[in-house]
Every structure is written in C-alpha cells, then in structure tokens.
C-alpha cells in the first residue's frame, strides 16, 4: 500500500466524529441517483426509439426499391425485376431479406360504417414475424397457396370501429380511375401495434389481389422491400443497393419515406442531452462540496503532513483518492439501482403509457451494457476533472499557521 493510500484509509475514515460524514453520504446518494437518472433516461430513450422504429419498419421496410413515377400508395406504377436482379440485391452485404409488395387504396364498408384504407399486398416471401408478434387473435393469412387468398388481417382499431371480428366478411371498394371495383375478403386475423397512423388505415392481404385489380401480370409489383441487418448502417447499405439497382428505379430509406416521425424521434436526443448535462453538473457539484469540507476539516492534518515533508502533490493525491472512493461507491450503487429498475420494468411493465399519445402501452427499456459502462466512465471522468480545482486549495495551506491555530 502506498503512503497516500494508507493516509487516505486511516485519517479520512468516515466515523461519527467527522463533521464531513453527512455531506459525504449525501454526495454518494447524489451520485447514485444522478447516475440512475442518466442511465434510465438513455435506456428509456433507446427503448422508445427502437420500439417506434421497429413498428414503422414492420409496416414497411428499411429500404424500398420502386418506380420513379411513384406518387402515393393509392395508384402505383408497376416495375419488373428479373430473378437475377432480385438475387443480386438479396446477396448484398447488410441486406438480410427482400420481399415484393403492392399497395391499393380503397374504402372498407360495413352495414353502417365506412373507412378509407390502404390494402398492402404481399407474397409468400413476406416476413410476417412483426404482425404475428402483434396478433391479438386469429392468424396470419396464407399466400403460399396456388389459389389467390381472400383472407386479410386488419388492425384492432379497425375491428372495433367497424365491428369486424375474425371470420367476418369485409367488403372493400377499390378506386379504378373514375370507377371502383368491389372485392369481398374474410378477416383471418386482427393485429394491434398501437401506432395509430398505420393501424387506422392498413390491411394486409395477397399481392395477387392487387395485381388482378390493376390488371398486372404475375411479374409486376409496386416495388421491393429490403430489410437490413444493422439499422445504424442504413445509409451505407442504401448506397450499396443504389449501386446495384437499375438507374430507372428509385431507392429510398425508411427515414426518407417517414421524415416527420424520424425527425420527432431525433428531437428526443436533445432532451436526453440536457438531462445528462444537468445530472453530471449535480454529481460534480456534490463531490466537490464533499471534498472541500474534508479539506477544511483536515486542515491541521495537512499542516502536520507538510511539516513532516509531504509535498502538495502527495497530499492532493490523498484527498483525490478519498474523493474518487466516494464517486466509486455512488457509481456502483447507481448501476445496481438502474439495472434493478430496468429489469423490473422490462419484465413486469409497471409504468404504463397512453397508447393514443405514445403509440405503446408501457415504458420500454433497452438494457444495453454499453450504456452502463459509458455513463459510469463519463461520470467518473467529469467528477475527476471537477475535483482538480478544489484539490489545488491544499497548496495554499501554510503549516505554521495551521499548527499555531490548533
């Protein structure tokens, strides 16, 4: 054990006679609570962003390849891509899945209700895991059969509004120029994502229904949706897709297709940054206050150590060791509390949300070890930097004056 560590452990122990003990305890609690707030804020933000992004991507995809003439989801221009082109895109680095789609706008009508909808047609290659995970009742329709399926899935919001349940018949009127075409479907399943912007309008069915309505052949589709392995590399993968796609086809990302939603999500980063700054300042101020009180309380000890030949640097290190011990205790407690709260919320969903306002029924948390590690290191470094100024006060203490005062 070094000289500085020995002095720090012996002379700066927290005992009942120390005036600084209450402030030291407060500093530990403040650092623990501050770190807890920072970790929880980041975990909740990331969980919220991942949840919303997952829902948006579930209705669409990360990257879309379609005609440049595309205007809206009601009347699309078909494209044809050969099997070789599709295989090329599917094999690109970062692309995990590719699937065809087609949209058709229409009106879903019951005996006493009517609702504008967007019919999304998909084929047997469609990744249905998102809708299966969010299925309230019923099942996902089967589009792998050689016969065109008349089954569809609708949202729980549409089900409640139009009083439709699984097994019921649903008549949809599709726009066809100045006229309309009617089709009867059977509700095979009901899903709920709490994302009202999509739940209010989207129903899913066999892509061959759209092809028949538009007079397309089996090779014509509105476009292809690509799922990527890593959302953080979305732009890089999109550029790679563009390089391997015909120049007459447009390649867009989900961020470009839904700019308002992603702009809203990005605004949350500003709130989190503000919380992190405030909590870091609070933690730093708390440990600085504790260090100053310890220095004032141990002024005579500092004078004695200087008289015995200790340097200002050595004495400063004694107090820094003690201060960092306080910070370390706070960080350990803060991490333990944060992890416990995150696990409880992730498991039991105790904190609920209004689905109409937040597009989810509970507060989501993303328990990522890197958040705990980085925030702990950041708190430690900020507190260390903040301690440099009060520790420099030790150099201004004169041994003769402190010993004579005592």
What would the pLDDT profile of 284-331 be if each residue is shown by its tens digit?
998 888 888 887 777 777 777 777 777 778 878 888 888 888 899 999
Nearest to 81 by CA among 256, 233, 226: 226
Question: What percentage of the chain exceeds 90 in pLDDT?
Answer: 61
359 Ramachandran zone, left/alpha/beta (phi>0; psi -120 to 50): left
> Cβ contacts of residue 282 below 8 Å, gap of 6+?
30, 34
Domain ranges of the chain: 3-55+262-405, 69-247
Q: What is the pLDDT of residue 132?
A: 95
- What average pLDDT does the structure give for the chain? 88
pTM of the model: 0.84
Residue 152 and residue 119: Cα distance in Å, rounded?
9
Higher-confidence residue of 65 and 323: namely 65
How many whole angstroms from its chain centre is CA 145? 38
> Cβ contacts of residue 287 below 8 Å, gap of 6+?
27, 31, 323, 326, 327, 330, 383, 386, 387
Q: What is the pLDDT of residues 37-60, one digit of tens each?
A: 999 999 999 999 999 999 999 998
Nearest to 274 by CA among 13, 42, 18, 12: 42
Q: What is the pLDDT of residue 313?
A: 80
Q: What is the pLDDT of residues 148-196, one digit of tens each?
A: 999 999 999 999 999 999 999 999 999 877 788 999 999 999 999 999 8
Question: What percentage of the chain exceeds 70 in pLDDT?
Answer: 92
Q: For the beta carbon of residue 99, count every other beta carbon within 10 angstroms.
A: 21
Under 8 Å between Cβ of 246 and 88: no
Residue 401 and residue 406: Cα distance in Å, rounded?
9
Using DSSP, state whether 179 is helix, strand or coil: strand
- Tokens coding 10: 């012996």
Under 8 Å between Cβ of 228 and 95: yes
272 Ramachandran zone, left/alpha/beta (phi>0; psi -120 to 50): alpha
Q: What is the pLDDT of residue 395?
A: 57
Is the pLDDT reported for residue 244 higher than 50? yes
């Amino acid at each position: 054990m070094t000289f500085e560590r020995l002095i720090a452990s012996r002379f700066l122990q927290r005992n009942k006679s120390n005036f600084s003990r209450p402030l030291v305890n407060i500093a530990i609690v403040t650092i623990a609570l501050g770190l807890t707030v920072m970790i929880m804020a980041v975990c909740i933000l990331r969980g919220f962003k991942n949840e919303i992004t997952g829902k948006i991507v579930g209705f669409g995809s990360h990257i879309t390849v379609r005609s440049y003439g595309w205007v809206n989801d009601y009347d699309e221009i078909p494209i044809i891509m050969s099997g070789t082109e599709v295989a090329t895109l599917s094999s690109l680095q970062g692309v995990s899945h590719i699937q065809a789609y087609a949209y058709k706008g229409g009106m879903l009508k019951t005996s006493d209700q009517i609702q504008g909808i967007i019919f999304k047609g998909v084929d047997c290659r469609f990744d249905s895991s998102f809708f299966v995970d969010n299925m309230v009742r019923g099942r996902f329709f089967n589009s792998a059969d050689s016969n065109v399926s008349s089954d569809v899935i609708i949202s729980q919001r549409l089900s409640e509004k139009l009083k439709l349940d699984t097994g019921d018949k649903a008549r949809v009127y599709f726009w066809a120029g100045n006229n309309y075409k009617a089709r009867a479907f059977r509700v095979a399943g009901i899903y709920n994502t709490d994302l009202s912007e999509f739940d209010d309008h989207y129903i899913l069915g066999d892509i061959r229904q759209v092809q028949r309505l538009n007079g397309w052949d089996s090779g014509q589709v509105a476009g292809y949706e690509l799922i990527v392995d890593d959302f953080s590399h979305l732009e890089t993968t999109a550029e790679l897709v563009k390089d391997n796609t015909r120049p007459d086809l447009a390649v867009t990302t989900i961020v470009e297709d839904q700019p308002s939603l992603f702009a809203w999500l990005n605004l949350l980063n500003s709130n989190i940054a503000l919380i992190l700054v405030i909590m870091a300042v609070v933690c730093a101020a708390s440990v600085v206050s504790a260090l100053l009180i310890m220095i004032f309380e141990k002024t005579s000890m500092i004078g004695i150590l200087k008289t015995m030949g200790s340097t200002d640097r050595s004495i400063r290190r004694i107090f820094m060791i003690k201060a960092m011990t306080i910070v370390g205790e706070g960080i350990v407690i803060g991490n333990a509390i944060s992890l416990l709260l995150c696990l409880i919320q992730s498991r039991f969903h105790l904190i609920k949300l209004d689905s109409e306002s937040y597009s989810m029924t509970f507060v989501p948390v993303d328990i990522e070890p890197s958040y705990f590690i980085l925030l702990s290191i950041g708190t430690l470094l900020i507190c260390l930097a903040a301690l440099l100024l009060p520790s420099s006060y030790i150099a201004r203490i004169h041994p003769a004056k402190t010993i004579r005062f005592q």
